[in-house]
Amino acid sequence: MNRIARRFETLRGANKKALLPYFTSGYPDCAHVEEFIRRADERGAAVVEIGEPYSDSIADGPTIQQSFHSALANGHRLEDTFEMVSRIRDSVTCGIVSMVSFSIVHRVGLDNFVRDAATAGFDGVIFPDVPVEESQTCADAAGKAGLCYVGLTAPTTTADRVASIAKSATGFVYQIAASGTTGERTAVWSDLGAAVARIREICDTPVCVGFGVSTAEHVREVCKVADGAIVGSAIIRHIGEAIEKKSSPDLVDDVEAFLAGLSSGLTTAA
């Protein structure tokens, strides 16, 4: 069984919810990201999302875009991500998902990308800019490579498109909790429960919620209705602030402490 499916099956059996932290590959460098993944795994993260830097991202807000810019300016390339995951794969048990613009995937070829991702040790892929009309082709290719294909639904997604996305998704369905780009918000979307319920009527695939989930309280609110909470921009912002304030050896400990604070929102979620 794929690691992602196995982790969610175990969590459901224990009536527990998941934290899914996001890190930008190469930010501030791959050595640090390896340690972030390791600490997240030790803290019980079910899945870690690794964002692939891209100069023309359409779904990411300024915080993650800045991390992309920093990584690319330092010479980061896709091959560096694959090598990083290969190095750490045998030392962590969490699922690892690549969140990557399809422009990058198209450049190297869909079949080539999913093959190389699986070989490196990724367990799933998220292509945030693939339209639903093309999602089944991507899901099939990912499945043949042994990868989960995570579909995204947004507050504005129509019911028929939600059904198509949910049916093609494996691993988990990513419910976007806010219209627009990634970024921290002050509150959780008020209609989130209804959106998650709509997906659950279609499939039994776990549902995780991201975009705007920024605090332990947000994690708690999300996990009242969903299987997991995805936190990205808040973590990337914290990394950036820690880089400015602290020396490199302290950075990993600082990020781990931040993850521990977010994880505290899981304690009363079930």
Give the whole-angstrom CA distance, residue 214 versus residue 226.
16
Q: Which strands sit side by side in the sheet containing 124-126, from one edge to the other?
A: 148-149, 124-126, 95-99, 47-51, 18-24, 228-231, 207-210, 173-176, 151-153
Catalytic annotation, pick one of 49, 80, 221, 227: 49
CA pair distance 133, 129, nearest whole angstrom: 11
Three-class SS state of 151: strand
The three-state secondary structure class of 191 is coil
Asked if residue 170 lies in contact with residue 205, where contact means CB atoms within 8 angstroms, the answer is yes
How many Cα atoms occupy the beta-carbon half-sphere of 196 within 13 Å? Answer: 22
Q: Which of 60, 80, 123, 184 is catalytic?
A: 60
For the residues of 57-111, what is the DSSP string, one character each? Answer: -SS--HHHHHHHHHHHHTT--HHHHHHHHHHHGGG--SEEEEE--HHHHHHH-HH
Q: Which residues, including other chains, have CB under 8 Å from residue 262's CB and lie 6 or more apart?
A: 19, 21, 215, 216, 219, 229, 231, 234, 235
35 annotated active-site? no
244: exposed, middle or buried (Cβ count in 10 Å: 0-12, 13-18, 19+): exposed
- Known catalytic membership, residue 60: yes
For the annotated catalytic residues, the residue numbers are: 49, 60
